[in-house]
């Protein structure tokens, strides 16, 4: 009788917390683990066994080296044997570790987990892991002010937190770390401390290069995302859940205080401190270069980034398993770049997913549901590197990736795959794309820039933070949108063509303004003339200088530094060479490959004040405009 009275409130309660990324109802994950083909069949030996049901919850304030108190939640397997030592999985959370619901909903569940959801805590505690979730400095119920995101102080806090963990009576003195998005990035940042207890790291949808993967892909400001992310974080820091909808305002009391904080004395001080936090969206859109100082923090976007700590991260010797999706903003690019620059990356998994992942984005999938059991895959890695279980994961191929179109999982020890060859498609004045430079129809093509052109409200860019989403990530038939763009289309394909890697485009380009930004789309045109999105690249002409400086890449590198900027002059013809985001995609025989060029992606990117009315693309056998496709031969 009493349980029935709570059914409707409980449903509202579950819906309430759907506004936060990663939240689930807490139901046990029953999705079977996929069996991925490996190079040595039979090596895989399964998982450890679940030994516990349910978990206990504790919360604490723990002091950092400068006496700042950080709020942490600790989840231990229920009925853990006295004296039993277990490994820990650590999450460093910027988005509030847990929420307290208003009465009577707090009688149903307390605390309510947010970014690290119930299903994940239930899953790993059942296998004998402790789970520790921390509000990083200046967030949630933790003391301090945020001077910047991923600050040096925040990174150093990781060492103090690990020291506290391994001093606990339940700790076996081994720690793994993981998380999605910001939490995936802080997981990798933790390795820069080179703490010997940290044995395994699984960054999911993490940020390797804050400038090129998030804030300025291709040097183009992703202003709308920055604004909405800043709005989200400011609200959370102020303990204000109203922006997340009426249910949140009605049912959420707010950030969960630490147990033992009598009369919420510390908590009240904390929220007052957070009023002075750095505003990430203030002034970022006024920046242009990666090494340009933001006057609000006297730091550049380089100072916020994992890539500036490569040597320390690699020197930790901590085993890394990188997990991402082909349609996850520009983060799959960062995932592959990070792998190339860190010798301690042991595994890479890239699926047909967006951020998190939340959705299966393959246009050929029967459902948007992610049917890959990522928790089970993570368990294999943690079991091996934290518990020493010989399950064969260390002998598998480095890369496991999903091929869109043929809808299959594939493995490779190198990226791009070893049997990859570059197929060039040359652009012609008749808007064709030909395979031989001798077949180019020489000349130029003029494009009247349409500033309403967009990749849509459900694009890869919208998936990266919740309040920016307008439904599941989805690319509809682009035939109508292509009418706004300049397109070059190949001849009919006589055979299956699989592109796996990073396409690179070179344009002989001019425009009638003193600045120019180019958006390029790789597309699949079916015999019925429907157009399927494959991938894209963005680039600002100011950054066109190609350089060997910086971290290693598999594509032409641009520094995006102020010293290397080459201001564009109206009417000047220049060569632009830039990468499209990596992908694995199969074009069917009888289809056509199309490259479409735009001057805007409305709703996603800010453009410079100088906006050209016309682009001009020229091509000839002696000086071609072209795209280089990394084609894999089966």
Peptide bond just before 416 cis, omega within 30 deg: yes
What structural domains and CATH numbers belong to the chain? 2-209+239-274+305-412 (3.40.50.1820), 420-632 (2.60.120.260)
Q: Is the pLDDT of residue 500 over 90?
A: yes
Q: Of 93, 328, 383, 601, which one is the catalytic site residue? A: 328
CA 350, 122, 141: angle at the middle one, nearest 5? 90
Distance separating the N- and C-terminal Cα atoms of the chain? 62
Which helix (H) or strand (E) element contains residue 12? Answer: helix 7-16
DSSP-assigned states of every residue in 367-397: -SS--S-HHHHHHHHHHHHHH----SGGGS-
Take residue 463 and report the two structure tokens written for it.
């998936």
Q: Does 256 participate in catalysis according to the annotation?
A: no
Strand stretches in 413-516, DSSP E: 420-427, 432-434, 443-448, 486-490, 497-501, 504-511
* pLDDT in the model for residue 46: 55
The answer to whether residue 181 is catalytic is yes
Residue range 128-158, pLDDT digits in tens: 999 999 999 999 999 999 989 999 999 999 9
Kindly report the number of other CB atoms within 10 A of residue 82's CB atom. 6
Average pLDDT over the chain reads 91
Q: What's the angle, vertex CA 71, arms to CA 28 and CA 186, rounded to 5?
A: 70
User: In terms of pLDDT, which residue wins out, 160 or 280?
Assistant: 160
Q: Indicate the pLDDT class of residue 47, thresholds 50, 70 and 90.
A: low
Buried/exposed code over 492-513 (b: 16+ C-beta within 10 A; e: otherwise): ebeeebbbbbbbbbbbbbbbbb
Q: Sorting pLDDT into bands at 50, 70 and 90, what band is 279?
A: confident
Catalytic entry in 98, 181, 490, 596? 181
Quick check: is 490 catalytic? no
pLDDT at 450 exceeding the cut of 70 = yes
3-state secondary structure of 325: strand
Quick one: average pLDDT of 556-574? 96
Residue 2, judged by CB atoms within 10 A of its CB (0-12, 13-18, 19+), counts as exposed
**Runs of H (alpha helix) within 471-585:** 479-482
**339-361: per-residue pLDDT in tens?**
999 999 999 999 999 999 999 99
Query: What pTM was computed for the model?
Result: 0.93
pLDDT number for residue 436: 96
Question: In this model, does residue 305 exceed pLDDT 50?
Answer: yes
- Whether the per-residue pLDDT at 18 is higher than 60: the answer is no
* Among candidate residues 432, 335, 323, the one with its CA nearest the CA of residue 380: 323
Identify whether the C-beta of residue 241 lies closer than 8 Å to the C-beta of residue 252. yes
Question: Is 484:379 a contact under the CB 8 Å cutoff?
Answer: no
Using alpha carbons, select from 344, 394, 346, 322 the residue that is nearest to residue 45. Answer: 394
Considering the chain, what percentage of its residues have pLDDT values greater than 70?
Answer: 92
Cα separation, 427 vs 64, in Å, equals: 59
Check if the beta carbon of residue 597 is closer than 8 Å to that of residue 626: no
Q: For 289-302, how does the pLDDT look when each residue is reduced to its tens digit (9 = 90+)?
A: 999 998 878 899 99
Residue from 195, 256, 274, 355 carrying the catalytic annotation: 355
């Amino acid at each position: 009788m009493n349980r029935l009275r709570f059914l409707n409130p409980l449903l509202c309660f579950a819906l309430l917390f759907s506004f936060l990324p990663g939240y689930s109802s807490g139901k046990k994950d029953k999705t079977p683990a996929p069996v991925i083909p490996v190079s040595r069949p039979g090596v895989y030996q399964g998982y450890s066994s679940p030994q516990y049901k349910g978990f206990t919850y504790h919360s604490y304030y723990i002091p950092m080296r400068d006496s700042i108190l950080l709020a942490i939640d600790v989840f231990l397997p229920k009925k853990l044997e006295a004296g039993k030592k277990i490994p820990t999985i650590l999450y460093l959370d910027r988005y509030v570790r847990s929420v307290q619901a208003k009465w009577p909903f707090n009688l149903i569940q307390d605390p309510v987990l947010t970014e690290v959801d119930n299903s994940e805590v239930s899953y790993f505690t059942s296998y004998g892991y402790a789970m520790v979730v921390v509000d990083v400095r200046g967030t949630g119920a933790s003391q301090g002010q945020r001077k910047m995101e991923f600050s040096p102080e925040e990174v150093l806090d990781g060492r103090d937190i690990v020291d506290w963990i391994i001093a606990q009576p339940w700790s076996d003195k081994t720690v793994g770390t993981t998380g999605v998005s910001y939490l995936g990035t802080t997981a990798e940042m933790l390795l820069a401390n080179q703490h010997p207890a940290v044995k395994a790291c699984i960054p999911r949808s993490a940020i390797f290069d804050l400038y090129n993967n998030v804030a300025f892909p291709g040097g183009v400001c992703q202003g709308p995302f920055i604004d909405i992310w800043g709005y989200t974080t400011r609200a959370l820091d102020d303990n204000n859940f109203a922006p997340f909808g009426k249910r949140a305002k009605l049912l959420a009391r707010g950030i969960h205080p630490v147990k033992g904080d009598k009369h919420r004395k510390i908590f009240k001080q904390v929220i007052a401190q957070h009023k002075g936090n750095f505003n990430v969206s203030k002034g970022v859109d006024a920046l242009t270069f990666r090494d340009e100082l933001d006057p609000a923090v006297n730091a550049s976007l380089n100072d916020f980034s994992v890539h500036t700590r490569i040597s320390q991260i690699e020197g930790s010797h901590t085993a890394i398993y990188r997990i991402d999706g082909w349609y996850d903003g520009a983060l799959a690019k960062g995932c592959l770049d990070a792998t190339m620059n860190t010798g301690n990356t042991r595994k890479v998994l890239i699926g047909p997913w967006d951020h998190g992942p939340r959705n299966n984005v393959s246009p050929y999938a029967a459902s948007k549901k992610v049917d890959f059991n990522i928790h089970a895959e993570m368990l294999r890695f943690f079991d091996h590197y934290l518990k020493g279980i010989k399950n064969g994961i260390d002998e598998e191929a480095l890369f496991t990736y999903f091929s869109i179109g043929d809808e299959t999982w594939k493995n490779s020890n190198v990226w791009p795959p070893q049997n990859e060859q570059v197929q060039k498609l040359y652009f012609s004045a008749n808007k064709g794309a030909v395979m031989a430079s001798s077949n180019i129809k020489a000349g130029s093509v003029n494009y009247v820039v349409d500033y309403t052109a967009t990749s849509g409200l459900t694009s890869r860019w919208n998936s990266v933070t919740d309040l920016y989403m307008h439904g599941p990530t989805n690319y509809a038939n682009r035939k109508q949108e292509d009418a706004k763009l300049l397109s070059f289309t190949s001849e009919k394909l006589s055979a299956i063509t699989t592109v796996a890697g990073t396409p690179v485009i070179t344009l002989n380009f001019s425009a009638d303004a003193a600045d120019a930004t180019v958006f390029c789309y790789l597309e699949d045109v079916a015999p019925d003339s429907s157009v399927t999105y494959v991938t894209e690249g963005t680039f600002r002409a100011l950054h066109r200088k190609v350089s060997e400086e910086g971290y290693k890449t598999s594509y032409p590198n641009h520094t995006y530094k102020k010293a290397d900027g080459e201001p564009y002059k109206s009417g000047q013809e220049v060569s632009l060479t830039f990468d499209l985001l990596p992908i694995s995609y199969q074009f069917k025989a009888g289809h056509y490959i199309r490259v479409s060029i735009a001057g805007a992606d409305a709703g996603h990117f800010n453009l410079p004040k100088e906006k050209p009315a016309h682009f001009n693309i020229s091509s000839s056998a002696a000086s071609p405009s072209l795209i280089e496709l990394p084609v894999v031969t089966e």
